[in-house]
Amino acid sequence: MNEKFRDSIGTINEEGKRAWVFPKKPSGIFYKYRKWVSYFLLVFLFVSPFLRINGNQFLLFNVLERKFSIFGFPFWPQDFHIFVIMMIIGVVFTVLFTVAFGRIFCGWMCPQTIFLEMVFRRIEYWIEGDRGKQMKLANQAWNAEKIRKRVLKWIIFFLISFLIANVFLAYLIGGDRLIQEILDGPHNHLSTLISLSIFTGIFYFVFAWFREQVCIIACPYGRLQGVLLDNKSIIVAYDHKRGEREEGRTILKKGEDREALGKGDCVDCSLCVKVCPTGIDIRNGTQLECINCTACIDACDSIMESVDLPKGLISYNSEDNIERKIKFSFSPRLKGYAAVLFILTGVLVGMLFLRNSVETNILRLPGQLFEHKENNIISNVYTFKLVNKTSEDIEKVRFELTSHEGTIKLVSHDEFTVPAQGLSEGTLFIEIKASLLKEDKERISIDVFSGDVIIETTSTSFLGPRSYR
């Protein structure tokens, strides 16, 4: 096979300039299913930052204030280990999925594809028409029709980019806060206005100009494909055995028996190339540019139907199945990934169950030793930090020493309230009779109460004089 196509990419011409892709509007059963999936995902994307579960935002990624909420479960920096495990599971799951099913995520679920193919391109088809009309418009001089269509398209693209920027910001700073800041007026929240303007500009640039190049040039996941795919992976593939046969692909001649003549089933109509949003020819084999969008499957099936040949010349298939008719099976590599995924998921579930909704840290004040007080009482000074991960205030909080007989004295108050999703900090003294200390440094246990209910048990160290060892 001539591999020259691998020396260039479909979106850059021989002079190194941008070759604009004008994909033909897809239609067919896969496109229909993809539209339904995209409607669901678009609703999910737009609603998630404004949905609340038990008072927590459904999805929140407030990096600056280090507040995270995933499916309504709040995560604090103290839960970072859980976050890391979730990220690792995400990576292993993606790898496993890619090894088995190629870039199915790109074609069906990636927000870039969803917005570009299911929102922006459909608006383009509506305003400028299908591939032929778009090419004609691009090549014609700037007359009234071109100015009207282009300006209308750019205004709509800009408005949608602005909308996406708002939703994106809601994921970062919180949906309620965004709405409040909009109601307060942008002049009162200049930093939010600047962020919105930058995000709008980026989204407009991506969807109006950069487009499929995100998948071809910028996306690291696409680059990973080369190392993850093998001959067993199910990908959008052209059945070259059937499409080419001994005589190769040729244009259809009326009444010919192509099989008897040794001609392939591909009638060289190029429809699969014309519908491709990344501008490639799937008949050249697996390519990094292919986002598995299935548009070429639909296109080829419609041609096969019209020339009375079986559908599936382009389909979800593996190289092994095309070459040697070996059906999909779980390879040792897949089994290994699945085992790792299973173990990590078990660890995550365990961590989620063991995760406290309150986190207490009591640490001795740095640089301080101990104080010898009247009646042989030894006193240590501590700072404490109590994080409330729940969406309700924790009231009447107090500490009780459980490992030793002694007292805990809070500076400035006896009991306090930890606000919902907030933290309380302060200083406290722990006093223990010297005769009760066996070591010069001992672990002590402390129960944290809310009213009469123990909400957490924690421990810290206590220093005493050596003479009592």
The single-letter DSSP state of residue 265 is S
* CA–CA dist 348, 344 (Å, integer): 6
303 binds ligand SF4 (CB under 6 A): yes
Other C-beta atoms lying within 10 Å of the C-beta of residue 86: 19
State the minimum distance, in angstroms, from the CB of residue 212 to ligand SF4: 9
In terms of Cα–Cα distance, which of 442, 433, 434, 432 is closest to 463? 442
216 binds ligand SF4 (CB under 6 A): no
State the minimum distance, in angstroms, from the CB of residue 327 to ligand SF4: 22
State the minimum distance, in angstroms, from the CB of residue 252 to ligand SF4: 9
Candidate residues 293, 378, 386, 446; the one interacting with ligand SF4 per rule CB under 6 A: 293
275 binds ligand SF4 (CB under 6 A): yes
On whether the CB atoms of residues 428 and 462 are closer than 8 A, the answer is no
- For ligand SF4, give the closer residue by CB, 206 or 267: 267
State the minimum distance, in angstroms, from the CB of residue 239 to ligand SF4: 9
- 73 strand-pairing partners: 70
112 binds ligand SF4 (CB under 6 A): no
Which residues have a Cβ under 8 Å from the Cβ of 285 and sit 6 or more positions away? 1, 238, 240
Residues between 53 and 72 with contacts to ligand SF4, criterion CB under 6 A? none
272 binds ligand SF4 (CB under 6 A): yes
State the minimum distance, in angstroms, from the CB of residue 297 to ligand SF4: 7
- Output the CA torsion 223→226→228→233 (10° steps): 120
- Which one of 54-62, 80-88, 163-171, 273-281 is the stretch in contact with ligand SF4 (CB under 6 A)? 273-281
In terms of Cα–Cα distance, which of 456, 447, 469 is closest to 378? 469
In terms of Cα–Cα distance, which of 2, 7, 12, 4 is closest to 279? 12
State the distance between the two ends of the chain, measured CA to CA, in whole angstroms.
83
- For ligand SF4, give the closer residue by CB, 310 or 350: 310
For 443, list phi and psi in degrees, rounded to 5: -80, 135
| Cα distances (angstroms) measured from residue 352 to each of 86, 355, 435 | 11, 5, 42
State the minimum distance, in angstroms, from the CB of residue 384 to ligand SF4: 57
* CA–CA dist 225, 287 (Å, integer): 9
292 binds ligand SF4 (CB under 6 A): yes
Residues between 219 and 238 with contacts to ligand SF4, criterion CB under 6 A? 236, 238
- For ligand SF4, give the closer residue by CB, 49 or 243: 243
The single-letter DSSP state of residue 130 is S
213 binds ligand SF4 (CB under 6 A): no
- Which one of 195-203, 275-283, 324-332, 338-346 is the stretch in contact with ligand SF4 (CB under 6 A)? 275-283
41 binds ligand SF4 (CB under 6 A): no
Tokens of 468: 């009592």
Candidate residues 121, 283, 364, 389; the one interacting with ligand SF4 per rule CB under 6 A: 283
Candidate residues 170, 229, 313, 386; the one interacting with ligand SF4 per rule CB under 6 A: 313
In terms of Cα–Cα distance, which of 136, 140, 130 is closest to 275? 130
300 binds ligand SF4 (CB under 6 A): yes
- For ligand SF4, give the closer residue by CB, 54 or 270: 270
In terms of Cα–Cα distance, which of 298, 141, 134, 115 is closest to 210? 115
- 398 strand-pairing partners: 449
Other C-beta atoms lying within 10 Å of the C-beta of residue 446: 21
* CA–CA dist 155, 162 (Å, integer): 11
Candidate residues 314, 387, 408, 430; the one interacting with ligand SF4 per rule CB under 6 A: 314
Site string for ligand SF4, 250-269 (x = CB under 6 A): ----------------xxxx
322 binds ligand SF4 (CB under 6 A): no
State the minimum distance, in angstroms, from the CB of residue 27 to ligand SF4: 13
The single-letter DSSP state of residue 376 is G
- For ligand SF4, give the closer residue by CB, 69 or 292: 292
270 binds ligand SF4 (CB under 6 A): yes
Percent helix, percent strand, percent coil in the chain, to nearest 5: 50, 20, 30
Candidate residues 82, 114, 164, 282; the one interacting with ligand SF4 per rule CB under 6 A: 282
- For ligand SF4, give the closer residue by CB, 74 or 243: 243
On whether the CB atoms of residues 345 and 89 are closer than 8 A, the answer is yes
Candidate residues 196, 290, 397, 432; the one interacting with ligand SF4 per rule CB under 6 A: 290
* CA–CA dist 81, 422 (Å, integer): 20
291 binds ligand SF4 (CB under 6 A): yes
- For ligand SF4, give the closer residue by CB, 28 or 406: 28
* CA–CA dist 274, 358 (Å, integer): 58
Q: What is the DSSP string of 78-143?
A: GGHHHHHHHHHHHHHHHHHHHHHHTTHHHHHT-HHHHHIIIIIHHHHHHHH-SHHHHHHHHHS-S-
- For ligand SF4, give the closer residue by CB, 305 or 439: 305
On whether the CB atoms of residues 19 and 12 are closer than 8 A, the answer is yes
Candidate residues 82, 296, 394, 432; the one interacting with ligand SF4 per rule CB under 6 A: 296
Site residues for ligand SF4 per CB under 6 A: 236, 238, 243, 266-272, 275-278, 280, 282-283, 290-296, 299-300, 303, 313-314
